[in-house]
Every structure is written in C-alpha cells, then in structure tokens.
C-alpha cells in the first residue's frame, strides 16, 4: 500500500489560491503541484468554510 502524502497548511492554501485567485482548474493545479485534483477541491472547500478564502460567489477585487 502506498504511503499517503502529507501537505502543510501553507502548501494547501497556496494550491487553493491557484484555483480561486489565478483561475487554474483543479486538474491544472494538481498537475502543476503533483497533488490530486480531489485534494485541491477539498482544500478550497475547507478554506472557504473557515473564511481563509472568499466564498465561491465572491470575487477578489484590486483597488487602484
């Protein structure tokens, strides 16, 4: 049986931000970071629930 990888919270948050802030798909982020798309989807969901990422229907705006 394969050993399960453990990722730091910082790694998970950065992976989630690739999707939510930079527009990567879950599959693209997974390929780039060598993690599963399912894991990244789960991390995005969890960080949205804790408020560390904005809700799905809220977009980030940059002030000028």
- In the chain the first and final C-alpha atoms are separated, in Å, by 52
Predicted structure pTM score:
0.80
Is it the case that residue 1 has pLDDT exceeding 90? no
Domain that holds residue 34: 9-50
Query: What does the pLDDT read at residue 47?
Result: 97
Please check whether residue 18 lies inside any domain of the structure: yes
Between 60 and 46, residue with greater pLDDT: 46
Please check whether residue 57 lies inside any domain of the structure: no
Please check whether residue 64 lies inside any domain of the structure: no
Please check whether residue 14 lies inside any domain of the structure: yes
Please check whether residue 63 lies inside any domain of the structure: no
Give 22-58 pLDDT, tens digit per residue: 999 999 999 999 999 999 999 999 999 999 998 887 6
Between 2 and 35, residue with greater pLDDT: 35
| Reduced 3-state DSSP string for the chain | CCCCCCCCHHHHHHHHHHHHCCCCCHHHHHHHHCCCHHHHHHHHHHHHHHCCCCCCCCCCCCCC
Domain count, the chain: 1
């Amino acid at each position: 049986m394969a050993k399960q990888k453990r990722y730091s919270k910082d790694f998970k948050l950065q992976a989630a931000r690739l999707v939510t802030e930079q527009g990567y798909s879950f599959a693209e982020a997974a390929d780039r970071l060598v993690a599963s798309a399912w894991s990244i989807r789960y991390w995005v969901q969890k960080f949205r629930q804790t408020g560390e990422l904005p809700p799905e229907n809220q977009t980030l705006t940059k002030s000028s």
